[in-house]
Structure 1
Amino acid sequence: MEHDELQFEKSLQSLAAEFSISIHDSSVSYFWRYLSELKKWNRAINLTAIDDDREILVKHFIDSIYGLKVIDINSEIELLDVGAGAGFPALPLKFVRPQLSVELLEPSEKKGAFLRYVVGSLGLQDVTVATAKLEDYAGRGNVQGRFDYIVVRAFKVDQFGVALSTLLKPDGKLVLYRAEKVPRSFELVGLALIKEVEYELPARYGHRVLSVYSKALR
């Protein structure tokens, strides 16, 4: 279902309000321009399997900003999106909280090119793109112990607990966007599960969970 810009803005504000999340009017246009570029680039490279405007709005945009329920953002916060893909959840979070500093880590050069284009065309400040594998990126001295939050959505992190822990500040948090709660058998070395927040996406678009980890006590 195609939306015009006004319809889209009303839908975005209304759906965000259902979760008691306010979006400033100055931020709304970023989502519309992002949607337009996403659909344009998606014809050339596989960014998302979803092509319906409302489904993108709910499953990608609204789901992304729900992370604000567990991410406390102030002007000093640095956030890393691991396996950023098309930019979810970090770019929607940045639109809603402009003071956030974001690094988008994406191993694919093609997806990295899309992210750089979007960041540039939207004029986003304090957003950088790194095209590297997580294990290589975590070995860089300038990023170790740098981030307050790491967010991960649609990227398997089972074997990367140590790498993720290395990138976090001592009191930093890892937030996994998931479809279900973490099974008891799931373990991330160096990290400890501290809470999980469950929610339902609007319009019956599915059940979601935010699984929050902190550095494990030694």
Structure 2
Amino acid sequence: MQPEQFKKALEALGFTVTKQMMDQFARYVQLLQEWNKKINLTAIDETEEIYLKHFYDSVVVARYVAFQDRDTLIDVGSGAGFPSLPLKILLPSLQITIIDSLNKRINFLKLLVEELALDDVELFHGRAEDFGQNAAFRERFDWATARAVARMSVLSEYCLPFVKVGGAFLALKGDKGEEELLIAKRAIQTFGGQVEQVAHFELPLEAGERSVIQIKKIQKTPKKYPRQAGLVNKKPLEN
């Protein structure tokens, strides 16, 4: 997907895309490619693939979710900034917090945020299990996002503790999202969530199926969750 195709695809979805936004996306690509030679940020490194499988795949979430002005969003295990930073470029009023367990990635994101002149973005190095038990982060966010970093039962334990009651966790998945949901029902309910909607869409240029799973937070997460580091992955709550 060429940059101009990307712009037209977003405009077709109803978004206003300015020159400044396109300049920010272009600089994002440059920095991602430069840093990817030094540290492993992404296997998707070609410019056209970045626009399609990172940028478009991230921002299309806003087609299915009603983000409000000044909403707070925490991105768990964001890697090279997906989906939160493309969303921030397109919707500048979002207040973004990113947690990632690898400090090298956080260093890349610090430079990226500075280069793109993005306001209201906070970056933290550490594990979701630890931050989820921290009162400064727990149940403080309108939205939590995660993009295919683990299966739904695990992601729910990582993400739902951050979401305030009435907010939602958004999982960006491939074509296996519904299958993962089937074995994650117990986990979602245990952590205070309820499936709100599952939206399916095809990436342009026949680049594959995707789904956005929205889990509404309907009650507080019990204090013992998330469990300590390691247990979430080793012993997920599954049906």
Shift of 1:26: 2.3
1:7-22 matches, within 5 Å, as 8=3, 10-22=4-16
**1:81–1:150: 8 Å Cα contact kept in structure 2?**
yes
| Structure 1 partner of 2:153 | 158
Q: 1:92 to 1:185 in 2, by over 3 A?
A: same
Aligned pairs for 1:14-163 (under 5 A) are: 14-156=8-150, 158-159=153-154, 161-163=156-158
Could you tell me which runs of 5 or more consecutive residues in structure 2 were left unpaired when the two chains were aligned: 221-239
The 8 Å contact of residues 146 and 155 in structure 2, kept in 1 or not, is answered as: no
* Contact preservation (8 Å) 2:146, 2:171: yes
Name the structure 2 match of 1:207.
209
Task: Please tell me the residue identity of whatever aligns with 1:159.
Answer: V
1:186 correspondence with 2:188: no
**In 1: Cα distance, 2:218 partner to 2:69 partner:** 26
Return the alpha-carbon distance in structure 1 between the equivalents of residues 109 and 26 of structure 2. Answer: 16
Whether the aligned pair in 1 keeps the contact of 2:100 and 2:125 (CA below 8 Å) is yes
The answer to whether the 8 Å contact 1:149/1:175 transfers is yes
C-alpha deviation, 1:163, in angstroms? 4.7
Identity of aligned residues (%): 28
- Which is richer in helix? 2
Greater alpha carbon shift after TM alignment, 178-187 vs 133-142: 178-187
Whether the 8 Å CA contact 1:193–1:213 is kept in 2: the answer is yes
Q: TM-score, normalised by structure 1?
A: 0.91
Partner amino acid, structure 2, of 1:207? E
Tell me, yes or no, if the aligned pair for 1:198 and 1:209 is still in contact at 8 Å: yes
Q: TM-score, normalised by structure 2?
A: 0.83
Determine if contact 2:144/2:160 at 8 Å carries over to the other structure: no
Partner of 1:177 in structure 2? 172
Distance in structure 2 (CA, Å) of the matches to 1:22 and 1:177 = 23
Report the Cα distance in structure 2 between the residues aligned to 1:97 and 1:50, rounded to whole angstroms. Answer: 24
What displacement does 1:85 show?
A: 0.1
CA distance, structure 2, for counterparts of residue 18 and residue 202 of structure 1: 12
- Residue equivalent to 1:168: 163
> Partner of 1:14: helix, strand, or coil?
helix
Tell me, which stretches of 5 or more residues in structure 1 are unaligned? 2-6
Q: Show structure 1 runs of 4+ deviating over 4 A.
A: none
Q: Which amino acid aligns with 2:113?
A: V
Work out the CA distance in 1 between the residues paired with 2:155 and 2:201.
26
Aligned length: 212
